[in-house]
Each structure stands twice: as structure tokens, then as C-alpha cells.
Amino acid sequence: HKKVVQDMFKTLYDKGYIYAKEDEAFYCKHCKRFLPDRYIEGTCPYCGNKNARGDQCDECGKLLDPKDLVEPRCKLCGNPPVFRKTKHLFFALNKFENKLLKWMSDKNHWRPNVKKFTENWIKNGLKDRAITRDIDWGIPVPVEGFEDKRIYVWFDAVVGYFSASIQWAKERNEPDKWKEWWKNKEAKHYYFLAKDNIPFHTIIWPSILMGYDENLMLPYDIPANEYLRLEGEQFSKSRGLAIWIPDIIKRFDVDAIRYYLSINMPEHRDSNWTWEDFVSKNNDELLGVYGNLVHRILTFTWKNFGEIPEQGELDEEDKKLLEEIEKTSEEVHSNLQICSFKKALKNIMSLAQKGNVYFAQKKPWETIKRDREKCGTTLHVCLRLVKALSLMLAPYLPFSSQKVWMYLGYNDSIHKHTWSEITQDVETGKKIEKPEHLFKKLSLEDIMEEKDPFTLLDLKVAKVVDVKDHPNADKLYMLQIDVGELGKRVIVAGMKPYYSKEEIKGRNIVVVCNLKPARIRGVESKGMLLAAEDNKGNVALLSPKDSLAGEDVVVEGITKNPAQTIDFEDFKEIKMVVDEKRRVVYNGKPLKTKQGEVTVDEKVEPGAKVL
């Protein structure tokens, strides 16, 4: 990757698309460092968002220069930065305006929000952007005189598509294989992303490709989504406002989650995840329209025939449903081709609803009593519908679709089959399997009342009375702590690489008092202190300042009901993070004592995980 990035950078420089210019950059006197764009926050000059970043505003999607921000502040310490002169290399985006407009002129298959956003950006005039930064991480600049600079991430990141393809080809021992994808006029490149990344993929990345090698394939489609929000709030790991994948897949059927995300996809405007809507979509649509239809058809056929019955003479209702299958297959195919995934799913669910009407009108439970052959024809048509639905839904609901496929008597993977099979007949006489319900009915009350794992924790403020080196481990301390009414105890903590004894002794910390005792290198530890660690490996202790030893640490709205003991593996499932205000938060709410909110030292960055 490094080699490819530097080669593209140097080629653009040699062609005159990258040039040197003296500039002013933000410098934080308190932190004693130049600030990368994302280390600067302030008010967006376009929409007034007070938490815009130095490179982009998440609210309105505008690309920004740090100088554009109103009342800028250092994200690390909150102090206002100052300008200092520095020399940087700039990418001449303005040279690509006409080329970009010409390239975009036939992109009528793009989503309207993507095309309009990009056209407006270009027509307003593209500004050349600094492509280097005064930082010590990243790829070194391959230009003499700029060796101490680094290539900035927005250039480095998009080149990853190209460099990964080259690496893939090398690992296959076919070093030129990448050309089949990048120099093949028949190849189509799709970039799936969120709206905040639109300009990087419709303006910056195409410009880099145009300037580097005009024979490389430009993006064919950039189906960018708007934002999915959580109960009206923006998802934010640093604020704890998130749905954690490991947690949710334990609680709910994976295909139920996939269905809701697909039918609620923010393709053209922001959408909202709410638990009430999740339950409604699961019960009324996934289960009520599709799941029950499939189960009724398969169960009735299995009980009365045990195999796919023969198709007799078709009446008008039979023919109409088969025509609907073919029509829907074409509609879904067309919508998938233009990345209109939500509309395609609605097409499929509409067909399932028509199947419910057909099944109710044909009343096979009555015809089985007087005309078994006619009943068999009805079920044969129904099973063609089930097969078609399972194939069309396979990309959306891979697991339940595979179950349906097996119930229909197939022994292989549904995902090995092709779109053309949707309208093909089912095999008369094929044995079918006894079906089970595909989905479960959900209760909103049960979801909302489900016990929050945080209630099981017994978090308390403890004062460190004494600190000793662990006799059998170089990186461990033995801390004697005072937990108020619970008395004194010893815990083992891996803080030696981060804090001196003097820094820890006498301070307040937060301790998990009911963690199952464990012997750590021969010393029993009765509890665990909490600390935050960020992506760079920085570690900071939680700081319940001015609190008394033994005080409870709580989260507003969650009733404390601690278990007698809790295993470390269970504790790890409770996701606490550090937010922008250096508060420790759980599900967006801060940890508190009677004296106030629990914070961390300035050693770690927002988003740091607490363990």
C-alpha cells in the first residue's frame, strides 16, 4: 500500500497536479503540536453545527478547511489553537472541474442525492486541498524537502481500493490480474458508503485516477446512503449511542435484523432505528406477511402430500400469480441493478402479500376434501411462489432462505443458484421436509423490560491506600484500597507502564467490587479497577473526583441490582466509552457519583474503551 500511494503521489507531483505552497495551519500551544483536521472542532459556517470537524461537517456534509470553522478548538484539550506558517503540498482539484462534469454527464443511474451533491460542489468551484500534514504518523511524502511531512489520510485511504487489488493479484501469483478490473472497460466499480464520504469518491478519487492514469476505470456508481439514526439521535460510539453487533445478534434472529436494516435503509433521506418500529416490521411484515405464508404452505403440503404435488390444469387465478412471479422477478432485478435495495425488497414483500391473498381465496383446506387434484395444483403453484421468494430474498435473508430451500427438498446451498431459476418450475414428486417457523413474534414490552446488564455491576469509588510492586510480574501493581463500608482489600492492576506509584497512591478510582476473585500471578485480586484505553494504546484511570470511598457509581435511569459475583467475560459485554467531554458514558449516559460525573485524565482520546 505504501509503495502504491507514494507512486501515485509522485506521479501526480511530476505531472504538475501537486504543488508546494506556504500555508497557515492550526497549532495548539497547550498540546505543543500541529493539529490534524479531525483534531479541530468548531461551528460549521454553513449549517451552524457546533461540533463540525476540521475537514467536514457531519450534519450538512460540507467539506471544510479548518480555517472555515467558527470558534475552533483543539479536540484534545478544548483550548483555541493559533495559526503558524508551514509549507505543504496541495492537490490541484480545480484542474479537474471540466473533466469531472463531463464524466458525470451520463451518470443518470446515480442516486439523486449523490449526483446533485456532487454537481453543486463542482459548479461552486473546486478548491485545491492540502495533501500533506505536520504529523508523525502515516506515509512519508516522496518529495525532496518534505521528508518530515506525511501524506494526509484522505488521499491515502481512497488509494487503498487500488493498492488492495494489486496486493490481491500478487497473492494469487498473478501480478497483472488487477488489470482485469482496473483496465477493463466492461468492469463496473461500485462504492458503497455513507453520505459524508460522497465527495471523496465522486470528486477526489476520480480526480486522482484521472491525473495518475487515464486508462484506469473510474467509479461506475456510488450508492451512498444518508444517515441511520438511533431513536432520533446520531449513532456515536464515543457517546455510547450505539447498537452493538455482538449483543443484538444474541438477542434477535440475524435475518430479522437484516430485514429491518434493509426495509429501513436510508437510501434517499435519513431514517431512524426505533425499537417500536423494529418490533412492528418483524411482527407485521417479516413474520405476518412472509414467514406465516411460507409456513402455512409448506406445513399444509407436508401434512397432506409429503411431496410436491403434480400441477394440473391452471385456472385464471393460478396463471395470474405465476405472471406476478415473473413480473416481480423483473422488477426486483431492475431495482437491484441500480442499487435500489429497499424498493426491490418492497417488490418482493408485495408479491408475498399477493401470495397470501391467493392462498386465502383458493382455500386448499376445503378443496382437499372434494378435489385432491385441484388442491394439488394450488399447492404446486404456491410452492413455485415459495421457491421464487426464497431465491429473491436470499441476498437479504440468507439464513432463513437457506432453511426454506432445505424444506423444499434441496440439499445444496441456495446461494449457488442463479436468478434465472426464480421463474422455473418446481420438481413434481420431490420430497419436502417438515417445516418449522422461520421467525418469532417479538414483544416491545419484553425488549424494553429486558434486564440491562449494567444493573448487575457493583461499581464503587475506592481510595488507593498503598501501592506495591507485584512480586512475580514486572507490569503489575498490588493496590490496597479502601471501599468504605466494604472495608479494605487488595486488587492487582496492570498500571505500572502508565502510572508511577506516587501518581496512584491517595487518589480515587472506580472499582468493580463484585468481579469474581482471581489469582493473578500468585496474588489474589478481589475486584478490578476501571481504566480507559484509546486506539493508540494510551491508558487513563477513571477519576471520581471529590467522592467518598464506598460511594456507588451509577447511571441515571438504571436501577442498581448487583449480582453476588460477575465473571470477567460477562463484564466485557458492558460497553463503556469516553465521550468528547471526557466523561465515561454507558449507552449515552454518564457514570455518576453523588458528587458528579466520572471523567478520565487527558491521556486518552474520545472514543476510548473502558475496561
Q: What is the pLDDT of residue 500?
A: 94
Indicate if 453-610 has the same CATH topology as 256-423: no
- Domain 453-610 has what CATH class? mainly beta
* pLDDT above 70: residue 175: yes
What are 373's three cell numbers? 387434484
Contacts of 373 (CB under 8 A, 6+ apart): 310, 312
Exposed e or buried b per residue across 516-555, where buried means at least 16 C-beta atoms within 10 angstroms of its C-beta: beeebeebebbbbbbbbbbeeeebbbbbbeebebbbbbbb
- By C-alpha distance, which of 53, 78, 65, 64 is closest to 24? 65
Most confidently predicted of 62-76, 409-423, 555-569: 409-423
Q: What is the pLDDT of residue 63?
A: 78
Q: For the range 176-183, what are the long-range contacts, defined as Cβ-Cβ under 8 Å and sequence gap of 24 or more?
A: 181/217, 182/216, 182/217, 183/215, 183/216, 183/217
pLDDT over 70, % of the chain? 99
Q: What is the pLDDT of residue 239?
A: 59
Most confidently predicted of 66-80, 104-118, 238-252: 104-118
* pLDDT above 80: residue 238: no
Q: How far apart are CA 166 and CA 5, in angstroms?
A: 12
Q: How far apart are CA 89 and CA 94, in angstroms?
A: 15
* pLDDT above 90: residue 370: yes
Confidence of residue 62 (pLDDT cuts 50, 70, 90): confident
What are 416's three cell numbers? 449457488
Q: How far apart are CA 249 and CA 251, in angstroms?
A: 5
Average pLDDT over residues 473-500: 94
Record: fold of 2-212: Methionyl-trna Synthetase; domain 2 (2.170.220)
Q: How far apart are CA 117 and CA 129, in angstroms?
A: 19
Per-domain boundaries in the chain: 2-212, 256-423, 453-610
Centre a 10 Å sphere on the Cβ of residue 342 and count the other Cβ atoms it contains.
Answer: 17
Q: Are strands 52-53 and 40-43 parallel, antiparallel or unpaired?
A: antiparallel
Residue 499 and residue 516 in contact, taking contact as beta carbons nearer than 8 Å: no
Radius of gyration of the chain (CA): 30
CATH no. of 256-423: 1.10.730.10
* pLDDT above 70: residue 598: yes
**Per-residue pLDDT reduced to its tens digit, 257-303:** 999 999 999 999 999 999 999 999 999 999 999 999 999 999 999 99
Residue 107 and residue 121 in contact, taking contact as beta carbons nearer than 8 Å: no
- State the chain's mean pLDDT as an integer: 93
Give the rounded distance of the alpha carbon of 581 from its chain centre. Answer: 23
Most confidently predicted of 131-145, 161-175, 441-455: 161-175
Q: Are strands 576-578 and 539-543 parallel, antiparallel or unpaired?
A: unpaired
Burial class (CB in 10 A: 0-12, 13-18, 19+), 578: buried
Q: How far apart are CA 19 and CA 140, in angstroms?
A: 16
Residue 591 and residue 584 in contact, taking contact as beta carbons nearer than 8 Å: yes
Q: How far apart are CA 119 and CA 115, in angstroms?
A: 6
* pLDDT above 90: residue 529: yes
Exposed e or buried b per residue across 93-102, where buried means at least 16 C-beta atoms within 10 angstroms of its C-beta: bebbbeebee
Residue 53 and residue 72 in contact, taking contact as beta carbons nearer than 8 Å: no
Q: How far apart are CA 162 and CA 98, in angstroms?
A: 24
**Per-residue pLDDT reduced to its tens digit, 289-339:** 999 999 999 999 999 999 999 999 999 999 999 999 999 999 999 999 999
pLDDT over 90, % of the chain? 78
For 281, what's the count of Cα atoms within 13 Å in the CB-facing half-sphere? Answer: 21
- Please calculate the CA angle 528-549-524 and round it to the nearest 5 degrees: 30
